[in-house]
Amino acid sequence: MFTAAEVGAGNRQAAGRGAPGRGAAEELQLCLSVISKMGGAVSAGEDNDELIDNLKEAQYIRSELVEQAFRAIDRADYYLEEFKENAYKDLAWKHGNIHLSAPCIYSEVMEALDLQPGLSFLNLGSGTGYLSSMVGLILGPFGVNHGVELHSDVTEYAKQKLDFFIRTSDSFDKFDFCEPSFVTGNCLEISPDCSQYDRVYCGAGVQKEHEEYMKSLLKVGGILVMPLEEKLTKITRTGPSAWETKKILAVSFAPLIQPCQSENGKSRLVHLPPLAVRSLQDLARIAIRGTIKKVIHQEAVNKNGNGLKNTPRFKRRRVRRRRMETIVFLDKEVFASRISNPSDDNSSGDLEEERQEEEVTTPPNTKPEPPVNFLREKVLSLPLPDPLKYYLLYYREK
């Protein structure tokens, strides 16, 4: 997976303190080059919704499905408690083996994958499960959602975060969710008898010699997104041996870790979860929940004339695509810099206009009403035995 910490030991002196023979202009240019590949492309948000607003205004999020998925899962839920204050900055985060790419990277990946309900998805380097969970909201209950993660502690972390989301998030009831399944192993050692997938994403830099291996995981008509030769690349399989390639943007990901031989000299094959058929009981639960959602929507249409309305959010400030509050990690040193866009020097008029706009559009000391989980309320009101009600709610906490 991409880590800011692994920009390269060779850059340590260049970007660190006291680099010999390097002028201020060169230092700044190097920092801009590194930062352009590491996030920091939009302003920080005060909460998850504002971060998504910023990504949307900067054209990183362009489709409604991707926007809904990003809003439904709070990025801060995937941070350790002591680091949550940085969750809404457009920056990568790493602590030990745990890692999250910058939001602008994830949004470009989600858009490039062109996700649709019912597809199969394979996440190579699945990490915390943040991306896989967002994908699962789009795939729906009849999709396939698999992840391979190198580090067992990160796999366990991802399972804990997934369990927390299922038990506590109202978004679980708003969407038909394709629950991710995570396995531990090296993604370069996937068993050759595994099924192919409609969509594949690799979260680590792919060397040229592994390009064909990655392509072999893809069905005809499928899409592969991966960092290849310092570019986030989209490859579409148009035929058994025909491909279309598109370079999306420059990125800097840590390279894939090469497999290690076991004691007997053989590689440790990674066996992906089987494509299981859902039980009749599970299919009935999906169908009942779907019917209840339709009833709720029809009741709202009859009452309001236009269906359920989202909780109104106040108008946000206009967002300029810029670098700010950027932190570059180089091994154990930290090089922090606040880099201004040249247009920022003459932006006092814009800032004053934004301030006046906020004063007009944002009512003081007013907060939106918390969202109502209509599905949960409807299920609990049904004349059914309690065990059946809680089964329909997946035994989730309120």
Positions marked active-site: 101
**Contact between 3 and 324 (Cβ < 8 Å):** no
Distance of CA 342 to the CA centre of its chain: 30
Q: What is the amino acid identity at position 313?
A: R
- The answer to whether the beta carbons of residues 270 and 349 sit under 8 Å apart is no
CA-based R_g, the chain, Å: 23
Distance CA(130)–CA(75), nearest Å, equals 7
Contact 188, 258 (CB under 8 A): yes
For residue 76, the SS3 value is: helix
- The answer to whether residues 221 and 7 touch, using CB atoms and an 8 Å cutoff, is no
Longest dimension (CA), the chain: 78
DSSP string spanning 354-392?
A: HHHHHHHHS-TT--PPPPP-HHHHHHHHSSS-HHHHHHH
Tell me if residue 42 falls in helix, strand or coil. coil
Contacts of residue 10, defined as CB under 8 A and 6 or more positions apart, other chains included, come to none
Residue 148 near residue 194 (C-beta atoms within 8 A): no
β-bridge pairing 144-149 and 181-184: parallel
CA angle at 32 for the pair 26 and 34, rounded to the nearest 5°: 105
Fill in the DSSP letter of residue 308: -
Euclidean distance between CA atoms 353 and 234, whole angstroms: 40
Q: Which residues partner with 39 through β-bridges?
A: 91
